[in-house]
Structure 1
Amino acid sequence: MTKWEYATVPLLIHATKQILDNWGADGWELVQVVPGPNPEQLVAYMKRQKEA
Structure 2
Amino acid sequence: MIKKILTILKYKLKLFFIKTPSNLLLNVINILSYCNKIKKNNVIIIINNIYT
Normalising by structure 1, we get a TM-score of: 0.37
Normalising by structure 2, we get a TM-score of: 0.37
Larger radius of gyration: 1
Which structure's residues are more often strand, by fraction? 1
Which structure's residues are more often helix, by fraction? 2
